[in-house]
Amino acid sequence: MADHQDRIDQLNQKLEILLSKQEGFAKELMALYREIELLKKQPREKPASEQKAESIPPETLAKIDALGQDEKQTEIKPTKFVSQTPVAPPIAEKRERKPKSKSNWEKFVGENLINKIGIAILVIGVAIGAKYSIENNLISPLTRIILGYFAGLGLLGFGIKLKTKYENYSAVLVSGALAILYFITFAAYSFYGLFPQLIAFGLMLLFTAFGVVAALHYNKQVIAHIGLVGSYAVPFLLSNDSGNAAVLLSYIAIINLGILIIAFKKYWKPLYYSAFVFTWLIYSVFSAFSYETEKHFPVALFFLCVFFLLFYGIFLAFKLRANEKFGKSDVVMLLLNSFIFFGLGYNLLTHQETGKQLLGVFTLCNAIVHFVVSAFIYRKKLADRNLFYLVSGLVLVFITIAVPVQLDGNWVTLLWAMEAALLFWIGRTKNVPVYEYLSYPLMLLAVLSLTHDWGTAYSTYYQEDFFMSIFNIDFLSSMLFVAAFGFINYIHQKTDWVAEVKDRNWLQNIMAFGMPIILLLSLYGAIYLEIEYYFDKLFRASEIPVMDGSEISYSEYNYELKDFGAIWLLNYTLFFIAALALANIKFLKNRILGIATLLVGVLATLLFLAEGLYLLSEIRQSLLNEDLSSYGSSSFNIGIRYVALAFFALLLFALFRLGRATFMRTNLRIPFEFVLHLSILWILSSELLQWMDLAGSTQSYKLGLSILWGVYALFLIALGIYKNKKYLRMGAIALFAITLVKLFFYDIASMNTITKTVVFVSLGILLLIISFLYNKYKHKIADEPHEE
């Protein structure tokens, strides 16, 4: 129903635009008709062809007359004009355009510019004359003021009298008269003290009210600018350092009330901007230099709210009454008014004892004001959707700000994440892009807040009381954050983009990749930090005080727990990548995610082979170290190795399945087999080293590894011949070459005679077997297809 009403509003707006255009066409037709009639009345005799060109069919004249009568009506029915004889403008008319433009320029200078310069010079002359009379004491102060008022009122009366025939000229005279009256009142109060401050303010307000009425009556901004904007200088001109903030701010509020009245009738943007700048400038100067918390806090806060609401009304009044769309400048002014009010109010409350406790309430009140306005606009259908979305966006902005102002910790993260999810859902499902764009910075804020929470919660170095792993508020908030971003990604996958991929802007393209990345990293990081925190907690709890002979105590820790923690973190990483790959195969079928998973999986594989197997060997070594027996090392120091290998095998299986998935559209068979055989050889080498180390052998890195590598090279050659895979055989030969280099440059250096004999004989037999296989199956190798 809402979408249906929005469509009706859009059609009504288009209809109004077309009607205004038709109205303009009617005016142009009437002007052309009048010009043609004037040309007809000229005594010059014209050729028959030109007379024919100037003739207008009766049907067209009737339609022009009908349009002229309907110009001022609200509804204009479309009329189709058919001209039987085209009206071609004569050549003479084109030649007359040059002097016409010159005449327009001359008219502007003579009728508009000169009179404004003249009135400015007149006001300056009055001021100079008054100054001269004061300095030379030519006439008494009271006489000077009376003559000044007579001059101002006389000019005012003369200007009003000329309004009927010379409206522009009259408006300039009236504005100049207002300026003279302002100045004379200032002189009477400031120079001579003829008026008390209250009467001076009253006169100024009277002049201001007259300026409002005159500006509306004349429909001229110049009067409003001189009458109203000039009045902002009065508090500074009439100031007697009394510090009466209530009088000052009341005076400015009355002026702004006058501008609000104008705003219901006229859309004079320069006037609004001038009033906006002067008001907030005066208030800022007062707040910076004259404000005292104990003395001025209630008054300053009250008038701050009054100014905010007045300018809110000024910027909305004409737009709502005329049902016009908001432009970029209107949006900027609304936002500036809102944030200036919030900034000044926040500053006032921060320096007041009770106000410090109400910062969140103050921020929430900002959101409530914008909510009331947006609800009123929506219910009354007073403006287009853009204005409604703008004001509603301000509601969400101040709710967002209120969260960290009043709350802290996990609540901030959760509320920002939930708000981002809500905005994204509205923007995507209701086709309101502005809400989706508003959700993007909230997502970023939620991510930053989450990382801050993690840094605060999981730092164990300065904690005295440890919390329970998994069952704690930090992990719960992380999971709720993950749920919010899971919902965002679900909506992203289920709904179509408003625009095609080529039509998306750069921000949409970034977020299309960023949202899934945030979801995955937050899910991975939440569990990762819990595992890390658990083992850090165990490590801190393993502290054993030790006393040396000099009675100096120090602490010993079980560093084996650090290694266990690192292994379980690695196991979790392998499992997470494998689960992600399998989920992508089963449900998502996303090629970009699949490629990213393969790359991360390869990095995790190298990390496990290089770092993981080393950590497992360190854990094994701690079992053999009797110095750490007091910490309770057990057979699980060996068993954890096979748990880690199971996770690694799961990763390889998931990557293999992912590489062969149809949606991946890639052939990764050879790279996968390379990674697989490298991993098997690496793990077998590590296993050999472990069991030879447990057996007490000292030749594990020489005798054992050389024979193992040679045997595996033989296996690869046999497999390559059986499967017709040349790359396996070439890899086997490379492995055998590495083994021989190791044998001659590393192994034999410290081997005894028996060991050398065993190694050389073993490798020699392996080489002979390899050669025999090549000779026996040479026909199969020669006929095999070429491997790409």
CA distances to 111, 157, 687, 743, 758 from 738, rounded to whole Å, are: 100, 110, 20, 9, 18
Q: Identify which has the larger pLDDT, 74 or 623.
A: 623
The whole-number pLDDT of residue 339 equals 86
The whole-number pLDDT of residue 131 equals 62
Q: Identify which has the larger pLDDT, 46 or 245.
A: 245
For the ranges 135-144, 305-314, 516-525, 697-706, the maximum mean pLDDT occurs at 516-525
Long-range contacts (CB closer than 8 Å, 24 or more residues apart) made by 625-628? 628/558, 628/560
Tell me if 370 sits within 8 A of 394, measured CB to CB. yes
Element (H, E) at 545: strand 544-547
The sign one gets for the Cα dihedral 102, 107, 112, 114 is positive
555 beta partners: 545
User: Residue 537 and residue 68: Cα distance in Å, rounded?
Assistant: 89
Smallest CA-to-CA distance from 216 within 174, 165, 183 is with: 174
Mean pLDDT of 467-489: 91
pLDDT digits (tens, 9 = 90+) for 693-743: 888 776 666 778 888 998 999 899 999 988 888 889 999 899 988 988 888
| SS3 annotation, 374-392 | HHHHHHHCCCCHHHHHHHH
| SS3 annotation, 465-511 | CCCCCCCCHHHHHHHHHHHHHHHHHHHHHHCCCCCCHHHCCHHHHHH
The whole-number pLDDT of residue 102 equals 43
For the ranges 228-237, 326-335, 429-438, 519-528, the maximum mean pLDDT occurs at 519-528
The whole-number pLDDT of residue 594 equals 94
The whole-number pLDDT of residue 49 equals 44
Q: Identify which has the larger pLDDT, 683 or 85.
A: 683
Residue 52: pLDDT over 50 = no
Segment among 46-55, 167-176, 410-419, 621-630 with least mean pLDDT: 46-55
479: burial class by Cβ within 10 Å (0-12, 13-18, 19+)? middle
- In angstroms, how far apart are the furthest CA atoms of the chain? 136
545 beta partners: 555
The whole-number pLDDT of residue 447 equals 93
Mean pLDDT of 301-315: 90
Backbone angles phi and psi of 556, in degrees to 5? -110, 145
Mean pLDDT of 518-525: 95
Backbone angles phi and psi of 46, in degrees to 5? -110, 155
The DSSP 8-state label assigned to residue 1 in this structure reads -
The whole-number pLDDT of residue 82 equals 42
User: Residue 743 and residue 654: Cα distance in Å, rounded?
Assistant: 37
pLDDT mean across residues, the chain: 78
pLDDT band at residue 121 under the 50/70/90 scheme: low
Residue 139: pLDDT over 90 = no
The whole-number pLDDT of residue 395 equals 83
Contacts of 639 (CB under 8 A, 6+ apart): none
Q: Which position has the token pair 């287009």?
A: 384
Segment among 6-10, 307-311, 475-479, 635-639 with least mean pLDDT: 6-10
pLDDT band at residue 51 under the 50/70/90 scheme: very low
pLDDT digits (tens, 9 = 90+) for 634-643: 678 889 999 9
pLDDT digits (tens, 9 = 90+) for 75-111: 444 444 444 444 444 444 444 444 444 446 545 555 5
Q: Identify which has the larger pLDDT, 757 or 323.
A: 757
User: Residue 512 and residue 515: Cα distance in Å, rounded?
Assistant: 6
Query: Phi/psi zone of residue 634: left (φ > 0), alpha (ψ -120 to 50 degrees), beta?
Result: beta
User: Residue 271 and residue 731: Cα distance in Å, rounded?
Assistant: 82
Token pair belonging to 46 = 């014209």
- Can you tell me whether residue 458 is helix, strand or coil? coil
Tell me if 450 sits within 8 A of 429, measured CB to CB. no
pLDDT digits (tens, 9 = 90+) for 232-242: 765 665 555 55
Q: Identify which has the larger pLDDT, 251 or 56.
A: 251
332: burial class by Cβ within 10 Å (0-12, 13-18, 19+)? exposed
The whole-number pLDDT of residue 629 equals 43
Helix count (H) and strand count (E) of the chain?
Answer: 30, 2
pLDDT band at residue 596 under the 50/70/90 scheme: very high
pLDDT band at residue 511 under the 50/70/90 scheme: confident
